[in-house]
Amino acid sequence: MKLYRLIWTLALAIAVAASGVVCFGQAAKKEKEIYNERVDARAEIKEALKRAATENKRVILVFGANWCYDCRVLDAAFHRGDLAAILTANYEVVHVDIGKGEKNQDLSKKYEVPLSRGIPGLAVLDPDGKLVYSQKNGEFENARGLAPEDFLAFLNKWKPEARNR
């Protein structure tokens, strides 16, 4: 009986120590901050609109948060080689942090992105700030379930028309 208790105590001690190592390892790995929680989203949008006007681009507003897995999936998709080229050539992207749902609610209403449908939520603006598209039904909420072709189709559909030269 003593040997049995000793084995269980030792197994429990190893399990506790191992979980501490795993937690420490996870805490040490800091995920990339996509949404700057300290930035003024209105100022970021204003600057993006200025750049978009000079470069014949549109602005994509991505409402989301750093804790959101699908927001990270969308960001990773936008950084894929084929999508990144289209995104860079045609869009300025502004990540609008919603915190735990309490931040930038006025902006989500202004740009008609109902956050109650889930995040990430997207809106596309012309360089003059006119709303061209807003996600009404949580189309990107399950970004992990979308294929690269879905992202490509979205970017191609809403990119600006080419200027006549």
Q: Which amino acid is at 124?
A: V
Q: Say if residue 70 is in the same domain as residue 123.
A: yes
Q: Hey, what are 147's tokens?
A: 């294929």
Does residue 164 lie in a domain region?
no
Q: Structurally, how many domains does the chain consist of?
A: 2
State pLDDT tens for residues 106-124.
999 999 999 988 999 999 9
Q: Say if residue 20 is in the same domain as residue 46.
A: no
Whether the pLDDT of residue 23 is over 80: the answer is no
Q: Say if residue 5 is in the same domain as residue 51.
A: no
Predicted TM-score (pTM) of the model is 0.79
Residue 19: predicted pLDDT? 47
Whether the pLDDT of residue 20 is over 80: the answer is no
Q: Say if residue 141 is in the same domain as residue 84.
A: yes
Q: Say if residue 59 is in the same domain as residue 131.
A: yes
Query: Which CATH number characterizes residue 83's domain?
Result: 3.40.30.10
Residue 163: predicted pLDDT? 62
Task: Residue 18: give the domain boundaries.
Answer: 1-30
Whether the pLDDT of residue 8 is over 60: the answer is no
State pLDDT tens for residues 48-80.
999 999 999 999 999 999 999 999 999 999 999
Does residue 103 lie in a domain region?
yes
Q: Say if residue 22 is in the same domain as residue 48.
A: no
